[in-house]
Chains A and B, each alone.
Chain A
Amino acid sequence: MKFIRMVEETIAVRYSESKMRCPTHLCTGQEAISAAVGLALRQDDFVVSTHRSHGHYLGKGGNLNAMMAEIYGKATGCSLGKGGSMHLVDKSVGFMGSTAIVGGTIPVGVGLGLSIRLHGTDQVSCAFFGDGASEEGMFYESVNFAVLKKLPVLFICENNLYSVYSPLKVRQPSKRAIYTLAKAIGCPAEQGDGNDAESIYQKVSRALRRIRQGKGPYFFEFSTYRWREHCGPLFDNDLGYRTNQEYLEWKKRDPVLRLEQKLLRRKDLSKADIERVERDISRQVAKAFDFAEKSPFPDASELTKDVFA
Chain B
Amino acid sequence: MQKRNLKFFRAVNEALHVAMQKDKNVICYGLGTDDPKGVFGTTLGLRENFGPERVFDMPTSENSMTGIAIGAALNGIRPVMTHQRLDFFLLAMDQLVNNAAKWHYMFGGKHSVPITIRLILGRGWGQGPTHSQNLQAWFAHIPGLKVVAPATASDAKGLLLSSIFDPNPVIFLEQRWLHNVEGHVPAGDFRVALGQAKVLRHGDAATIVASSYMTIEALQAVKVLSKNGVECDVVDLRTLCPLDWKTIFSSVKKTGRLLVLDTGNETCSVASEIVARVSMELFSSLKGAPRRIALADVPTPTSPTLTKVFYKGAEDIVKAIGQMLRKDIPFEDLNNKSACPHDVPGDWFKGPF
Contact = CB atoms under 8 A, between A and B. Distances in A.
Nearest to B146: A308
Interface size class of A (residues with CB under 8 A): 35 or more
Contact of B65 (A48, A77, A78, A107): A107
Interface string A281-309: 00000000000000000000000011111
Contact of B105 (A48, A82, A99): A82
Contacts of A145: 58-59, 61, 64-65, 68
B74 A107 contact: no
A306 B108 contact: yes
A78 B110 CA distance: 9
B314 interface: no
A141 B64 contact: yes
A87 to B, nearest CB: 5
A109 interface: yes
Interface stretch (A12-20, A32-40, A112-120, A156-164): A112-120
B98 interface: yes
Contact of B103 (A81, A97, A137, A148): A97
B75 A115 contact: yes
A101 B65 contact: no
Max chain A C-beta neighbours (<10 A), residue from B77, B91, B106:
B106
A108 interface: yes
A245 B168 CA distance: 51
Nearest to B75: A115
Interface string A118-142: 1100000100000000000110011
A115 B72 contact: yes
Given A89-B107, A118-B27, A112 B71 contact: yes
Nearest to B60: A141
Contacts of A97: 74, 103, 107, 111
Given A111-B73, A308-B104, A99 B99 contact: yes
Nearest to A75: B108
B117 to A, nearest CB: 14
Contact of A78 (B74, B77, B108): B108
A180 interface: no
Interface size class of B (residues with CB under 8 A): 35 or more
Max chain B C-beta neighbours (<10 A), residue from A89, A105, A148, A309:
A309
B59 A104 contact: no
Interface in A61-88: 77-83, 87
A148 B73 CA distance: 20
Contact of B77 (A82, A114, A125): A114
Max chain A C-beta neighbours (<10 A), residue from B67, B70, B73:
B67
A208 interface: no
B108 A309 contact: no
A305 B69 CA distance: 24
A262 interface: no
Contacts of A77: 108
A48 B107 CA distance: 13
A179 interface: no
A1 B196 CA distance: 53
B94 A101 contact: yes
B163 interface: no
13 contacts: A79-B106, A79-B107, A89-B110, A97-B107, A97-B111, A105-B99, A107-B63, A110-B67, A110-B71, A141-B63, A144-B59, A306-B104, A308-B104
Interface of A: 46, 48, 77-83, 87, 89, 91, 96-97, 99, 101, 104-119, 125, 137-138, 141-142, 144-145, 148, 305-309
Q: Which 3 A-B pairs have the closest CB atoms?
A: A111-B71, A107-B67, A80-B108
